[in-house]
Amino acid sequence: MFKVIKMQGKARRGVFTCAHGGQVQTPVFMNVGTQAAIKGGVSALDLKEQLGTQIELSNTYHLHLRPGDDVVRQLGGLHRFMRWDGPILTDSGGFQVFSLAGLRKISEEGVTFASHLDGHRIFMGPEESMRIQSNLGSDIAMAFDECVENPAPYDYAKASCERTLRWLARCKAEHDRLNALPDTINPRQMLFGINQGATYADLRIWHMQQIAKIDCDGYAIGGLAVGEPTEVMYDIIDAVEPHMPADKPRYLMGVGTPSNIIEGVARGVDFFDCVMPARNARHGKLFTWSGTLNIKNAKYKLDESPIDPECSCPVCRSFSRAYLRHLFTAEEMLAMRLAVMHNLYFYNKLTQRIRDSIDEGCFDAFRETYSKKLAERV
């Protein structure tokens, strides 16, 4: 269930409820734990107790390969497996499957591809994706879709949109069937449809109008942030948003930078996810309220200040820039853990401050202050 409780322009302040974790306050950034863990040595307990995480995201493709969705089901579902009692969204696996360009074959039924682990052949279609996600027991299942490469020829993008629409209808039917089974791990699992259409506004609009006719619990904009200019991404969001159901959550998949999130909220988006905060952290690139910094730089060798004096995360409360730089220089595992914790806390705090600004009627001022500033280098 989703309810918009306040708006400022197109920016929406909402509340989302699902089977686990009570109420989720939106806009929200979902922390990406692809294989039921955050890369960098961060556990579900860290997410819950220290970092302010509301929703965790895991990946269908990777968990299907290992440990196997059947194994997760036997162990009581993903929540119990990873000891996370909040909401979980599972990606359908479509993006990963379609990134295996030289290892896959697409048909109307689905996709046959080679495992990136050992090369064995796997088939995944709409029904298979729904069954895997049902076995995982996530709160939100994503529809199986085709994410076309960028740039994509118009005719191919159009045919792909039409196929993804047919796949969504099959996802919906199978999802409803699985939720009705007596032994389903999470019978209250929700289904989000995904808008595609490459960078063609007319295809995007047509596809959104069509998938909105299929009664999903939310809708995502997929296939962006894959190499197109940022302004093109914003233009596509602007084109699609008027055709997205106003009473359902809107999810911009795989996006993005702090500035992208602020600009996405300004265009009516509610949910975000991205590997960027954890991935950048593992390379020493940290987000602060003054912009981004590279903690490996020599200028931090004797710097006893926290990563960000404005941050109250566990890392900034306890450790200095000099210490964190030393950990990276010495290639200590702790470096990645502390850096990832800081960046995830920052992203979660960012969306909290966005929510507060909408509540207080000052989102426009927040956007003016931080949209460009957070993209600068310290």
Q: Tell me what pLDDT residue 101 has.
A: 67
pLDDT over threshold 80, residue 174: yes
- The confidence band for 97, taking pLDDT boundaries of 50, 70 and 90, is confident
**Which one is predicted more confidently, 92 or 277?**
277
For residues 344-355, one letter each, b for 16 or more C-beta atoms within 10 angstroms of the residue's C-beta and e for the rest, the string is: bbbbbbbbbebb
Type of residue found at 338: L
The residues carrying an active-site annotation are 91, 273
Across 86-95, average pLDDT: 90
Across 334-362, average pLDDT: 98
Q: What is the pTM of this model?
A: 0.97
Angstrom distance (rounded) from CA 294 to CA 284: 6
Q: Tell me what pLDDT residue 1 has.
A: 94
pLDDT in tens, 111-133: 998 888 898 898 999 999 999 99
pLDDT over threshold 80, residue 99: no
Percent of the chain with pLDDT over 90: 91
Q: Give, in order, the Cα–Cα distances in Å from 172 to each of 181, 201, 211, 311.
A: 15, 25, 11, 43
Domains of the chain, with CATH numbers? 2-274 (3.20.20.105), 281-375 (no CATH)
Q: Is 116 in contact with 61 (CB distance < 8 Å)?
A: no
- The confidence band for 48, taking pLDDT boundaries of 50, 70 and 90, is very high
Angstrom distance (rounded) from CA 61 to CA 56: 16
pLDDT over threshold 80, residue 94: no
Across 344-365, average pLDDT: 98
pLDDT over threshold 90, residue 55: yes
pLDDT in tens, 282-319: 999 999 999 999 999 999 999 999 999 999 999 999 99
Q: Is 192 in contact with 226 (CB distance < 8 Å)?
A: no
The helix or strand, by DSSP H or E, that contains position 241, with its residue range, turns out to be none
pLDDT in tens, 187-239: 999 999 999 999 999 999 999 999 999 999 999 999 999 889 999 999 999 99
Q: Tell me what pLDDT residue 134 has.
A: 98
Q: Tell me what pLDDT residue 21 has.
A: 86
Q: Is 197 in contact with 207 (CB distance < 8 Å)?
A: yes
